Structure 1
């Protein structure tokens, strides 16, 4: 189990060097509350104001999300920051959009699997979210989420095309992705190496954030940086994901409290 973040702030003073520190965070469940549907989630104005102040003070502020990158930018509303969408498959840096070219070959297959899955799992409580590169199938609102997840996975296994793509799990969702070896950990390493910082913190709340937590540990062991990984706890997070982080906070309000501390 990670340590409670606010018991160790004295040890994290190194994060207060704005020219040598990268502040990197997930969005949903970290700087915004989890909502019943993706469309209902939002970053509140108090959080946005603090993020703008961090952007003004710190040389590196980055947001890494499973959402499409332009949607992440719209949701957060801090244009000077780095935005990474679809778990690292596309990003906006200095206002320029780029995505991994390898994903293009898989987009028709992902769409075909999603359409077929929707036909074979007719349930108005299941939300199919087309994210341009990836496809998320949300079952949070289903009466029996576990049974619905099993039904989704069984249906996917019956599709020959699904063997050509990557199927991942998140908080009450299944995600169809290109089978490209890229994740939040690799993009965290890329941001840190290209920014030439000496310290970093990453905050997240989901299964995919564990890749970033583990990558920070590697970067520390390589003596490249000092780093802190912070998980935002919830009942939906498996224990092994919790254990991959160094510290924990109890919710989005405590993330805001931590950001305020950074600015003191």
Structure 2
């Protein structure tokens, strides 16, 4: 599938079909705007309610799929009780079988990442099944952070380097957002429905590709290359598209 980073060549998504679609949504940069630090995001007051109502309209076929920890997702989206996948699939709620996985060397890896970030004047983000170092405050440090992460992954074999927006993450090996979609699609609420996935980051591209390859479509949020056929410029437009689906209206970008 051809990657394309030209917003002009990608239309906005069609209206959701409540009787035939299954909706999978990333969180940061997709449902909510990116913030200077992970804990500084602003969640619109009505977002959990919109998600809950839309899940009912889709007969339960709506899930959140994120690199965030499950605990954080549940805290930010109190009022939405549908399926959630955190840590790129290493933990989840609403699944028929637990997905929790505790990789070997987790606490030691997290300490090394925290120490590196502190010594480098960068931000460390603790995750329940890994960690991330953000270089948004100094983009010139990207190569240094990437080199550190790859060296760390050589020593901690249960982890894989995951590039992200202005950050590098180490996540458990064998878990990914597209893998989470495979498992979610086997649940009765999702089975047989057309997969629709929305995401903004390189971490979302495998899931966007999976949706495109399995009879559905992807929605890229923001600029950048993507396999997704459709694009929306900002999380605000995605939230508008979701609200329009509740009202039974097509979203015209």
Structure 1 and Structure 2 fold alike (TM over 0.5): yes
Question: Matched residues in 2 for 1:26 and 1:232: separation?
Answer: 10
Larger % of helix: which? 1
Matches within 5 A, 1:222-241: 227-234=216-223, 237=224, 239=225
Shift of 1:17: 2.6
TM-score if structure 1 supplies the norm length? 0.80
- Bigger relative contact order, structure 1 or 2 (CA pairs below 8 A, ≥6 apart): 2
Alignment equivalent of 1:248, drawn from 207, 231, 238: 231
Judged with a 3 Å threshold, the aligned counterparts in structure 2 of structure 1 residues 111 and 214 are, in CA distance, closer, same or farther, namely: same
Question: Matched residues in 1 for 2:217 and 2:151: separation?
Answer: 42
Q: Does 1:161 align with 2:162?
A: no
Question: Matched residues in 1 for 2:112 and 2:173: separation?
Answer: 19
Q: Contact 2:130–2:172 at 8 Å: present in 1 too?
A: yes
- Note the alpha carbon deviations across 1:193-244, whole angstroms, 9 max, x for none: 3222322311100011111111112212xxxxxx12101013xx3x2xx2x1
Unaligned runs of 5+ in 2: 249-253
Q: Contact 2:18–2:57 at 8 Å: present in 1 too?
A: no
Query: Which residue number corresponds to residue 177 of structure 1?
Result: 171
Matches within 5 A, 1:60-99: 60-93=61-94, 98-99=98-99
- Note the alpha carbon deviations across 1:114-168, whole angstroms, 9 max, x for none: 32344345457412122111111112123xx1x3121223334555524553111
| SS state at 1:177 partner | strand
TM-score if structure 2 supplies the norm length? 0.83
Question: Matched residues in 1 for 2:151 and 2:241: separation?
Answer: 46
Judged with a 3 Å threshold, the aligned counterparts in structure 2 of structure 1 residues 111 and 150 are, in CA distance, closer, same or farther, namely: farther
**Alignment root-mean-square deviation, CA:** 2.3
Q: Contact 1:90–1:97 at 8 Å: present in 2 too?
A: no
Tell me the number of residue pairs that the alignment of Structure 1 and Structure 2 aligns.
236
Unaligned runs of 5+ in 1: 221-226
Query: Which residue number corresponds to residue 129 of structure 1?
Result: 125
Judged with a 3 Å threshold, the aligned counterparts in structure 2 of structure 1 residues 196 and 125 are, in CA distance, closer, same or farther, namely: same
